[in-house]
Every structure is written in structure tokens, then in C-alpha cells.
């Protein structure tokens, strides 16, 4: 998918007062890919030019006495190439700005090629109806670094003009001469004209295909822009509202991933999907992911539009930074309890509480603000997994077997207390950096959840864990639902009573984010968790 060229068409809502009615630009995902390719091309060019410069100017006979054009041009172009590579690596410019600089780079390389090949007298026996190096460069660069049709043609034309221009310059300087046979001139420069035509033709094809795909990427009032996550159930895209320009995350769910193998099954799943999406959208806790819209595409794919968050999920948090202090764990889990308490009161059971579904983010001026993701939208998928015993290695990575309540693992009745068990598993992960039960296979892990008693978190971490927090986590992990805290509110009160050495508040959270995630990550809810 990353190799497919998409062009996004946006229309100004103010066209009726004389502003430009529309403009064409590349979507963010293609711009990002183009910037990566430009940096790679620049690095390769720097390497090739460097080797050439050393071989012919430093090691060749009489190199110390020679002062040719290439001895000045080649070092300059090496520096230009390395600058582009470094700018991309260090994010000195936006991807779009870097590609704009790439147009100048394309022209500069074309000029350098012309000055180099025309240093010697016109090679009479070489001039055949074959492509000049500049023509090859024009086509190669346009294929590797995508851009809009107008910019590609402009850059190709200017680069193509470097062929006759550099030839005339070198004639003026006495390096070469105009051949007596005028047909040789035509044969020399005509391939460059063909190269520009190839660029124009290929870019037009890409544009037409991209325009059609762009229409297909519109879901209601939202236009998909960049693929940010992909998994077993579907994909997550960054999107924008086409009128409000509001950023959002759109999750696409394939019907077959929810157990819908036929038309009747899809209709049944669609009805349940709409019912649960409506119920989730009605939740008002600030700690529940906001749902903006939902629906189905023409091919039957379910989608829902949610708020775009900046931060990391709990799974990534621990993998990147290691276990966190008890006071911070308490703060995070209490916020999750706020979300679940409202959901449970409304009769909703999440059923898939795990670190990947809990998100810590910047939210306005607050830090470490928790959002609970994916309410009710994975229920059917889990039922299918359990019915088919489909516990795979991928399940371990996403956490389903690792955080599965005993009653769900044994196909017993499931209620809101299954979410309490999940919170206990998540707290255990945050405190220790370990799963409650770590086993060789997902099935053995599930068996442990049914039969094996967990050890206290404090025995598996070097951080200080209060005895009261140990007890609260183990209470959540009780095998029998009746032995757990009976509500999320009860668990929240239990955690609030745990004595800690210092309080984790907004000041301490802001300090941690400033030291570890100092700039917005742009990580949307659901990235890498589709």
C-alpha cells in the first residue's frame, strides 16, 4: 500500500467569493515516502560522486596540476547531497519542504552531468540516437521521488534545458565544439525531449489513478490521508474532516474479522456494530475515546471515526521506558476506572482491557491523560477466537491471551468484572514490565489464567510497591469474579487509599513528558493496533 500513489483533491469552501476553487497536492503518506526516497537518492549520489572524484581527481595521473570544472562541482554536489540526507534524518524541514528542495537538487545534478560530459571535445563516434545521461536522470528521479504533475513537468523541463545550456557554456569556454553535422545535435538532444514527455505521460496516469483512489478514500465527511496502523482486524488511517479540517483517526474493520462469512452474517454484524457504536458514542467520560462518526463502506467494511490522540499506549510506554513508579500506576489506572465506571453503568462491557487499549496522552494542557479505546467493537472477534481455539502467537503480541479473564478463557458467563481483571493485568504490566503469566504458548498462558495463582508484583520489580497496592492488584486478579472489586468505582477508591511516598500530579507528569516525549508524537489512537 505504501507504494501506491495517491493524490488528494481538496475543494475550498469559499470558492464562490473568488478564491481558488481547488488545488491538488500529495497526501501525507506519499509525501513522507517521497522524502525518504529523496534522502536515499541523495546519499547514493553522494557516494557515487565521492568515488568518482577520488578516482579521477585525487588518484589519477597529473591530478595535482589539474583544475577542471569537476574539481569544483563535485565537492559542492557531494555537500548538497549530504545536506539533503542529513536534513531528512534530523527533520530540519517538513517532508513537503524537503521535496521542494529536491526540485533544486534535480536541476543541480542535471547541470553537473552536463558540465562533466561536455568537458571533452564532442565525441563524434559516441553521438548515436541514444539517451543522454541527463535524460536518464530526469526519468529516474521522477520515478523515485513522486510529486504533483505540474511540479514534475516544471522540474523535468528545467533539468532538460541543462543539456543544451551546459553544452553551449562548455563551447564558449573552449572545452568542446559544435559538430559540423547538425543531425548529430538533434540526435543528441532529442532523447531529452522524449524523457520530458515520458515524465508528463506517467505523471498524468498517476494523477488519474490517484484522483479515483482519492474518491474511494472518502468516508462520509472524512478523507483518509495516511495509513498509520495495520493489524488482524483491519487498518487505522489518519484523516481530516473535509469541511472543518479537524484531524481524526479512522479505523476500518473487515467484516470477515468479526466472523461475518456470508451476507446474513454481515447484516447481523452490521446491526450489532451500529448498536454498539451508538452506545459508545453516547459515553461522556473524558477518559473514553471520542467517537465522531461510524458507518459501512460500499464493500461492506465497517469504519468508525475517533479523535486523534498524541501520546503512547501503555504497552509501548513500558516497552520504551520500563516499569513506572507505583504512584504513577495508581494515577493511570484510576483514570481508566473513571471511563469503565460509566460504561458499566450503561451496560457496556469492554471485554478487551489490555495495555494496547489504554492510551496516555497530552490532552489540552494536561499530561498523562488516559483514554480507553475500542469499546465493544472487538467482542465478536474474541468470541470467534475462543470458539475456534484460534490462539496464535500474534495474540500474545496484542495481549488477548495475556490479559484474558478466567471466566472468558473457560467460556463461562462474562460481565463487567472481566474488565476489572483486565485492569489488574494492566497494573501488573505497568509495575513490573512483565505479564502476569509468561509461558511458551498462548494456550498455556490461558490455562495459567484459569488455574495458576499469580505472585505479587513487588516480587518481580526493583521498584517500591506498597503492600496495599500489591493486595489491590491481586484482588483484581482473583479467579472468581465475586472475589474481585465489584465495580470500577470500588477499585478506584481502593487505589486512592494506597499510601505512596509522593503524589503523581500534573507537575510531575509534565516534567516526565518534557524529559522523555518533549514534542508532540502525532501518534493517533490505534496506531499499530488495527
- Is 364 strand, coil or helix? coil
Work out the average pLDDT over 220-246: 72
What is the pLDDT of the chain when averaged over all its residues? 77
Confidence band for 242, pLDDT divided at 50, 70 and 90 = low
Question: Which DSSP string corresponds to 257-324?
Answer: GGT--SHHHHHHHHHHHHHHHHHHHT---TTBPPEEEEEE-TTS-EEEEEE--EEEEHHHHHHHH---
The count of C-alpha atoms lying within 13 angstroms of the C-alpha of 40, restricted to the half-sphere facing its C-beta, is 9
**Please, what CATH class does the domain formed by 310-516 belong to?**
mainly alpha
Question: Which of 140-144, 393-397, 478-482, 494-498 has the lowest average pLDDT?
Answer: 393-397
Query: Locate cell 555537500: which residue?
Result: 79
Regarding pTM above 0.85, the answer is no
- The CA distance from 109 to 78, in Å, is 10
Confidence band for 56, pLDDT divided at 50, 70 and 90 = low
Question: Which of 136-145, 411-420, 461-470 has the lowest average pLDDT?
Answer: 136-145
- Looking at residue 423, its pLDDT comes to 96
What share of the chain has pLDDT > 90, as a percent? 30
Query: Locate cell 513528558: which residue?
Result: 513
Return the CATH fold of 219-307: Phosphorylase Kinase; domain 1 (3.30.200)
Question: Which of 123-132, 275-284, 301-310, 499-508 has the lowest average pLDDT?
Answer: 123-132
- Nearest residue to 406 (alpha-carbon basis) of 448, 352, 449, 441: 449
- Looking at residue 414, its pLDDT comes to 87
Question: Which DSSP string corresponds to 125-142?
Answer: TT-SSS--HHHHHHHHHH
Dihedral pair phi/psi, residue 293, rounded to 5°: -160, 165
- Looking at residue 122, its pLDDT comes to 52
142 against 88, higher pLDDT: 88
pLDDT at 248 over 80: yes
Work out the average pLDDT over 290-318: 83
What share of the chain has pLDDT > 70, as a percent? 73
- Is 226 strand, coil or helix? strand
- The CA distance from 87 to 83, in Å, is 6
208 against 168, higher pLDDT: 168
Q: Which residues pair with 235 in a beta bridge?
A: 230, 252
- Looking at residue 499, its pLDDT comes to 92
Residues shown for the chain: 530
- Looking at residue 183, its pLDDT comes to 67
Question: Which of 83-87, 222-226, 440-444 has the lowest average pLDDT?
Answer: 222-226
Work out the average pLDDT over 68-75: 70
Could you tell me what percentage of the chain is helix, strand and coil, using 3-state DSSP and rounding each to the nearest 5? 55, 10, 35
Q: Which run of H or E residues covers position 359?
A: strand 358-363
- Looking at residue 428, its pLDDT comes to 96
pLDDT in tens, 80-127: 999 999 999 988 988 888 988 998 999 999 888 888 777 766 554 444
- The CA distance from 245 to 239, in Å, is 9
327 against 125, higher pLDDT: 327
Contact 165, 58 (CB under 8 A): no
Active-site residues: which are they?
Answer: 352
Confidence band for 280, pLDDT divided at 50, 70 and 90 = confident
Question: Which of 18-27, 205-214, 437-446, 450-459 has the lowest average pLDDT?
Answer: 18-27
Q: Determine the straight-line distance between the first and last CA of the chain, rounded to whole angstroms.
A: 15
Domain spans of the chain, in order of start: 8-216, 219-307, 310-516
pLDDT at 398 over 50: no
Q: Which region, left, alpha or beta, applies to residue 368 given φ > 0 means left and ψ of -120 to 50 means alpha?
A: left
- Looking at residue 383, its pLDDT comes to 43
Amino acid at each position: 500500500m505504501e507504494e501506491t500513489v495517491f493524490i488528494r483533491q481538496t475543494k475550498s469552501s469559499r470558492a464562490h467569493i473568488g478564491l481558488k476553487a481547488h488545488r491538488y497536492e500529495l497526501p501525507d503518506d506519499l509525501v513522507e515516502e517521497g522524502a525518504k526516497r529523496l534522502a536515499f537518492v541523495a546519499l547514493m549520489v553522494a557516494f557515487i560522486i565521492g568515488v568518482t572524484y577520488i578516482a579521477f581527481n585525487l588518484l589519477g595521473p597529473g591530478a595535482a596540476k589539474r583544475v577542471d570544472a569537476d574539481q569544483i562541482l563535485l565537492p559542492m554536489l557531494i555537500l548538497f547531497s549530504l545536506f539533503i540526507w542529513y536534513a531528512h534524518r534530523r527533520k530540519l524541514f517538513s517532508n513537503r519542504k524537503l521535496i521542494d528542495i529536491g526540485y533544486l537538487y534535480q536541476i543541480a545534478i542535471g547541470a553537473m552531468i552536463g558540465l562533466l560530459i561536455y568537458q571533452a571535445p564532442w565525441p563524434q563516434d559516441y553521438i548515436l540516437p541514444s539517451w543522454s545521461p541527463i535524460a536518464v536522470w530526469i526519468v529516474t528521479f521522477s520515478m523515485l521521488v513522486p510529486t504533483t504533475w505540474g511540479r514534475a513537468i516544471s522540474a523535468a523541463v528545467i533539468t532538460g534545458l541543462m543539456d543544451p545550456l551546459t553544452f553551449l557554456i562548455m563551447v564558449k569556454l573552449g572545452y568542446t565544439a559544435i559538430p559540423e553535422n547538425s543531425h548529430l545535435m538533434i540526435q543528441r538532444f532529442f532523447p531529452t525531449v522524449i524523457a520530458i514527455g515520458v515524465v508528463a505521460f506517467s505523471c498524468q496516469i498517476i494523477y488519474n489513478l490517484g484522483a479515483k483512489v482519492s474518491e474511494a478514500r472518502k468516508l462520509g465527511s472524512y478523507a483518509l490521508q495516511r495509513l498509520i496502523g495495520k493489524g488482524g482486524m483491519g487498518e487505522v488511517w489518519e484523516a481530516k474532516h473535509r469541511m472543518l479540517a479537524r484531524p481524526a483517526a479512522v479505523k476500518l474493520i473487515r467484516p470477515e474479522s468479526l466472523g461475518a462469512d456470508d451476507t446474513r452474517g454481515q447484516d447481523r454484524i452490521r446491526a450489532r456494530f451500529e448498536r454498539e457504536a451508538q452506545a459508545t458514542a453516547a459515553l461522556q467520560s473524558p477518559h473514553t475515546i471520542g467517537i465522531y462518526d461510524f458507518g459501512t463502506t460500499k464493500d461492506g467494511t465497517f469504519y468508525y471515526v475517533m479523535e486523534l490522540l498524541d501520546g503512547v499506549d501503555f504497552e509501548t510506554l513500558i516497552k520504551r521506558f520500563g516499569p513506572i513508579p507505583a504512584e504513577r500506576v495508581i494515577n493511570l489506572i484510576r483514570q481508566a476506572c473513571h471511563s469503565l465506571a460509566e460504561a458499566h453503568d450503561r451496560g457496556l462491557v469492554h471485554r478487551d482491557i489490555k495495555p494496547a487499549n489504554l492510551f496516555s496522552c497530552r490532552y489540552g494542557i494536561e499530561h498523562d491523560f488516559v483514554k480507553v479505546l475500542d469499546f465493544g467493537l472487538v467482542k465478536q472477534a474474541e468470541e470467534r477466537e475462543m470458539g475456534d481455539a484460534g490462539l496464535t502467537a500474534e495474540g500474545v503480541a496484542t495481549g488477548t491471551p495475556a490479559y484474558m479473564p478466567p471466566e472468558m478463557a473457560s467460556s463461562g458467563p462474562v460481565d463487567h468484572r472481566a474488565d476489572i481483571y483486565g485492569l489488574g493485568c494492566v497494573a501488573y504490566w505497568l509495575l513490573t514490565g512483565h505479564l502476569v503469566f509468561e509461558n511458551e504458548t498462548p494456550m498455556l498462558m490461558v490455562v495459567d489464567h484459569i488455574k495458576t495463582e499469580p505472585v505479587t508484583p513487588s516480587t518481580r520489580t526493583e521498584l517500591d510497591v506498597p503492600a496495599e497496592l500489591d493486595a489491590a492488584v491481586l484482588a483484581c486478579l482473583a479467579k472468581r469474579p465475586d472475589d474481585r472489586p465489584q465495580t470500577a468505582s470500588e477499585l478506584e477508591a481502593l487505589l486512592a487509599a494506597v499510601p505512596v511516598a509522593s503524589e503523581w500530579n500534573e507537575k510531575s507528569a509534565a516534567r516526565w513528558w518534557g524529559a522523555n516525549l518533549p514534542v508532540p508524537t502525532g501518534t493517533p489512537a490505534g496506531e499499530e493496533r488495527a
